[in-house]
Amino acid sequence: MQHHLITTMRSLKLVDGCKSSQVYALNSSPTTAPGGAASGDGGADDKPHHHHHRAKSSNQSISLILTDNLLPYGRPDTDQIEPPIEPYLKPIDFVETLADCYRRLEASDQFQKWERFLEQSALFRGLSDPKLLRRSLRSARQHASDAHSKVVLSAWLKFERREDELLGNSSMDCGGGRVVECPKSSLVSGYAPESVFDACPCRRRDNGDNGNDNAAAAQPPAASLIEEEEEEEEEEECSTSDEDGDISFCIGEEEIRCVRYRMAAMSRPLKAMLYGGFSEARRERINFTKNEISGKGMRAVEVFSRTRKLASFSPEIVLELLSFANKFCCDEMKTACDEYLASLVCDVDDAMLFVEYGLQETAHLLVASCLQVFLRELPGSLYNSTVMRLFCGPEARDRLEMVGHASFTLYYFLSQVAMEQDMKSNTTVMLLERLAECAKDRWEKQLAYHQLGCVMLERKEYKDAQHWFEAAAEAGHVYSLAGVARSKYKRGHKYLAYKQTNSLISEYKPLGWMHQERSLYCIGKEKMMDLSIATELDPTLSYPYKYRAVALLQENKVGASISEINKIIGFKVSPDCLELRAWFSIIQEDYEAAMKDIRAFLTLEPNYMMFHGKVNGDYMVDLLRKQVQQCSLADCWMQLYDRWSSVDDIGSLAVVHQMLENDPGRSLLRFRQSLLLLRLNCQKAAMRSLRLARNHSSSLHERLVYEGWILYDTGHREEALAKAEESISIQRSFEAFFLKAYALADTSLDPESSAYVIQLLQEALRCPSDGLRKGQALNNLGSVYVDCDKLDLAADCYWSALNIRHTRAHQGLARVFHLKNQRKSAYDEMTKLIEKARNNASAYEKRSEYCDRDMAKSDLSMATLLDPLRTYPYRYRAAVLMDDHKEAEAIAELTKAIAFKPDLQLLHLRAAFYDSMGDFTSSIRDCEAALSLDPSHADTVELYNKSKDRPQQKK
């Protein structure tokens, strides 16, 4: 492998867009000194002033009382923190599992593909990447062929997007306007994978005659079965007369005249009755009084026998027809009734009314329509006892199975929602039990049993938890053995738990979670060594950092505790770690730092409970507010500029949270919040903020922009552009032009497109906006100029951005210097960014491109230390090793990172290395795993096809 590998990677464009999903987390470290004033010990100089000494002692007492109030549950304790057993599939060899899933997917026929994609989504759930999860669910829906699977998967996609949070949207709206989530389209059976990305019928009708909107919306999936009113009246006029009919059905005193052969043609039982050896075959009048159908119902049967269509009958009459069709096996009439009744279900009230009829009469489509409403109302449906009886009751699964609606997919979706709402609830347990009953494939059993074990562990039902974990392990899920060990530990068998995890480490290639688990069952140096190994193998595990931080606190090393927890907050922001740092800050009496972290984690989880779930975070904000200086709106804006400029995203989040307290409907602030959350890689929270921005928009043009960003972030680029253009047509605004430019620049630009993007950004800069956003626009404009080789214009943009304190522009300016062969200036520019941003992994990584190999290795080591999730340093180091013909070390460098971050680029590069070494089997495996992550990655597809054509070799 030649040195050009390094050069190629150095030339990769690392986008510094404000909407990037890359982690740019940076922490402004709180004061780490133990707080001199907090100790309150008077020195020798205090003794001559006895009254001052008494006042100081009094202040000490007040301080202690205050601290006690802010720490109602004392200090954190190592015995009170424990890593959870994660409730998802966690294969021992994730890469091999991904590759195997891809191989089976490629070998599947068209009717099996959706099941493989569902399995893939279960694997991706453990990666905490909502985009990968949504893509797999979307692919599953794309390849589903039956109405039941389509209904469940469409509702699941809707739930993952939480579209119900948009004001003014009904749960039955089709969301993005595509067939893939359209509730009406889901009720149509049939395999049509390409149609799911078409505009849904609802959207097409909306673009048609508005006067017929309501009528169109009410059409059933088989609309041809419902005639227009004029045709219905004409048919009724043509009803059978006494002269035409040759048989009468008597119901009470009513006599319904029918045509014998038409009635007989509706089903074999009716044909046997009317033409077979039964007495009815010889009668002209048949007594039908005891057949549970009214005279009106029988007249409707007669009309259907002639027309094969449902006329303008009321739902009550159609229900009678459905019952009659079931009793006499009239398949065509049953289908028509089923489709017609399904079209009437529009909301929960309708679904509650019709679902029991559907179950009794085994009406598959009617039950599907009701089921769809309940699923699209989640999580609210979980709190409806009637709905839960439908899913969880004693005979629930059997009744649903009779109509083809008891499936693993259904209960997988329901149990995921239930676990997210309340892991310990009886509803969650019952849904998981149904899930286990439906599990057939190996992976399904692993998942169902493991999740039951996790729930029982949370409920402190340790014997049952151990049983389910053992069942999951027997089905092949090795990670469940950690659950077995934890259950034994909770039952008082600590040595058995230690022995269990010890055997795991001996039998399998050690992983970070194995050492983390074993650390729970040992003490002293052995425990700390296991935690250290766990962090080395998987630096993303938060428990080792938390334990070490709390252990340092117990030694009264508060500053060291904060430094330890800062290590993981620097690249992986989570509420529990922010809470712990806030807790440390309160102990240190640094109330401003504590307030900052509490506001930040409340942005991530607005209902977060502190101190092991005992105190609401908002309550702590109220308490701390009395201890910190209150800021005016102008002060808040100044703080936001300062923190934004110093790349302190957590601090910026805290300021925005404070500003929203006084103005919760300010959509601009919600939008700013979403940008910060995206930079911190908190995608779900970012989308929530973006929807709130949309919901609180004060004008149509503003709302369209936020809807455009929602569409863009969920992969609908063309629709996002349309929203931007519509917004501009109403009012020219910075955000609308910026959105349009950003969406257009997302693809490879030709000179003409680049010129148009430049024009759009210039238009944006002419519109009113604040300096924070204008700095971003100038930065983006500079990037486009660089791509067009207009370096002087790019430099002007970056200088202008720096003048309004857009610190990230240093990176763009460094790139300009580098392209002008001014490498020292480029290095110095990145040094300025590092100094301003403090511990910015991205800046260290970028500076490595502007120095010699030894200095580059130093910068990349620092980048990895600050953010182990950044993949470029591993790829660079591996490429250097390959250039030095150290193939084994190069593979080991990539493998180390892949173990905790199975990244597309890492997998592709390792596959390329294996290919160059002649290990085509390993190369193919890595390609297959990479293609699971992105099936359209052209370089991997090319390498995969090339490797498959070569003779296979073992490692």
Gap between the Cα atoms of 837 and 477, Å rounded: 44
pLDDT, position 630: 86
**Identity of the amino acid at 927:** C
CA atoms within 13 A on the CB side of 452: 27
Q: What number is the average pLDDT over the span 404-424?
A: 96
615 closest CA partner among 596, 636, 601: 601
Is the separation of the CB atoms in 419 and 428 below 8 Å? yes
660 closest CA partner among 709, 705, 621, 620: 621
Going by pLDDT thresholds of 50, 70 and 90, the confidence category of residue 62 is very low
Kind and range of the H or E run holding 254: strand 254-258
* Helix, strand, coil tally for the chain in percent (to 5): 70, 0, 30
> Is the pLDDT at 178 greater than 60, yes or no?
yes
Kind and range of the H or E run holding 255: strand 254-258
pLDDT, position 43: 38
Is the separation of the CB atoms in 368 and 148 below 8 Å? yes
Residue 835: CB atoms within 10 A of its CB come to 11
pLDDT, position 952: 58
Q: Is 247 helix (H, G, I), strand (E, B) or coil?
A: strand
Percentage of the chain with pLDDT > 70? Answer: 86
What are 183-218's pLDDT values in tens digits?
Answer: 888 888 888 888 877 777 766 555 554 433 333 333
Is the separation of the CB atoms in 587 and 75 below 8 Å? yes
pLDDT, position 911: 97
C-alpha distances (whole Å) from 607 to each of 564, 581, 592, 603, 691 are 26, 18, 21, 9, 18
Structure tokens of 552?
């340092």
What are 673-700's pLDDT values in tens digits?
Answer: 999 999 999 988 999 999 999 999 999 9
> Is the pLDDT at 442 greater than 80, yes or no?
yes
Is the separation of the CB atoms in 449 and 475 below 8 Å? yes
Structure tokens of 555?
């030694």
Structure tokens of 898?
């892949």
Kind and range of the H or E run holding 604: helix 591-604
Q: Tell me the Cα Rg of the chain.
A: 33
- Considering the chain, what is the average pLDDT of its residues? 86
pLDDT, position 279: 82
Of residues 484 and 393, which shows the higher confidence score? 484
Going by pLDDT thresholds of 50, 70 and 90, the confidence category of residue 246 is confident
247-251 and 285-287: which strand pairing? parallel
**Identity of the amino acid at 269:** P
Residue 306: CB atoms within 10 A of its CB come to 16
Is the separation of the CB atoms in 867 and 841 below 8 Å? yes
**Identity of the amino acid at 357:** Y
Q: Which residue, chain included where needed, has tokens 């692993």? A: 446
Angle, to 10 degrees, between the axis of helix 442-458 and the axis of helix 113-125? 30
Structure tokens of 515?
């050492």
CA angle 629-633-635, nearest 5°? 55
Q: What number is the average pLDDT over the span 737-745?
A: 95
Gap between the Cα atoms of 833 and 814, Å rounded: 10
Gap between the Cα atoms of 720 and 739, Å rounded: 8
DSSP-derived secondary structure for 417-451: HHHHH-TT-HHHHHHHHHHHHH--SHHHHHHHHHH
Q: What number is the average pLDDT over the span 228-236?
A: 42
pLDDT, position 168: 53
Torsion angle of C-alpha atoms 424, 427, 432, 438, degrees rounded to 10: 180
Cα 86 to chain centroid, rounded: 16
CA dihedral (133, 139, 143, 145) positive or negative: positive
- Render the burial of 928-943: b for 16+ CB within 10 Å, e for the rest: bbbbbbeeebeebeeb
Is the separation of the CB atoms in 89 and 124 below 8 Å? no
Gap between the Cα atoms of 88 and 472, Å rounded: 11
Kindly report which listed range (236-250, 548-562, 583-597, 779-793) carries the lowest average pLDDT score.
236-250
> Is the pLDDT at 848 greater than 50, yes or no?
yes
Percentage of the chain with pLDDT > 90? Answer: 71
Which parts of 241-330 fold into alpha helices (H)? 260-264, 268-275, 295-307, 315-327
Going by pLDDT thresholds of 50, 70 and 90, the confidence category of residue 282 is confident
Going by pLDDT thresholds of 50, 70 and 90, the confidence category of residue 4 is very low
C-alpha distances (whole Å) from 953 to each of 134, 749, 894, 917, 928 are 36, 42, 21, 10, 16
Q: Which residue, chain included where needed, has tokens 């045509």? A: 259
Structure tokens of 599?
């506001």
Give 372: exposed, middle or buried? Use CB within 10 Å, 0-12, 13-18, 19+.
Answer: buried
254-258 and 247-251: which strand pairing? antiparallel
Task: Find the largest Cα–Cα distance for the chain.
Answer: 126
Q: What number is the average pLDDT over the span 249-274?
A: 92
> Is the pLDDT at 166 greater than 70, yes or no?
no
Gap between the Cα atoms of 101 and 123, Å rounded: 9
What are 645-666's pLDDT values in tens digits?
Answer: 999 999 999 999 999 998 888 8
Q: What number is the average pLDDT over the span 439-467?
A: 97
Is the separation of the CB atoms in 909 and 878 below 8 Å? yes
pLDDT, position 18: 36
DSSP-derived secondary structure for 135-180: HHHHHHHHH--SHHHHHHHHHHHHHHHTGGGSTT--TTS-TTTBGG
DSSP label at residue 278: S
Q: What number is the average pLDDT over the span 846-868?
A: 95
Of residues 180 and 97, which shows the higher confidence score? 97
Going by pLDDT thresholds of 50, 70 and 90, the confidence category of residue 51 is very low
Torsion angle of C-alpha atoms 706, 711, 714, 715, degrees rounded to 10: -140
Is the separation of the CB atoms in 515 and 530 below 8 Å? yes
Is the separation of the CB atoms in 69 and 623 below 8 Å? yes
Gap between the Cα atoms of 62 and 589, Å rounded: 12
DSSP label at residue 823: H
615-616 and 285-287: which strand pairing? unpaired
> Is the pLDDT at 7 greater than 70, yes or no?
no
What are 73-109's pLDDT values in tens digits?
Answer: 889 999 999 999 999 999 999 999 999 999 999 999 9
DSSP label at residue 734: H
Is the separation of the CB atoms in 226 and 215 below 8 Å? no
Q: How far apart are the first and last CA of the chain?
A: 19
Q: Is 249 helix (H, G, I), strand (E, B) or coil?
A: strand
pLDDT, position 381: 92
Q: What number is the average pLDDT over the span 162-175?
A: 60
pTM to 2 decimal places: 0.86
> Is the pLDDT at 724 greater than 70, yes or no?
yes
948 closest CA partner among 162, 181, 102, 145: 102
Residues 6+ apart with CB under 8 A from 595: 582, 621, 624, 625, 628, 654
DSSP label at residue 479: T
pLDDT, position 253: 87
DSSP-derived secondary structure for 173-241: S-TTTBGGG-HHHHTS-S--GGGGGSBPHHHHHHTS-GGGHHHHHT--SSGGGB--HHHHHHHHHTPPP
Q: What number is the average pLDDT over the span 334-354?
A: 93
Q: Which residue, chain included where needed, has tokens 């065509």? A: 332
728 closest CA partner among 752, 764, 674: 764
C-alpha distances (whole Å) from 807 to each of 523, 816, 832 are 46, 16, 9
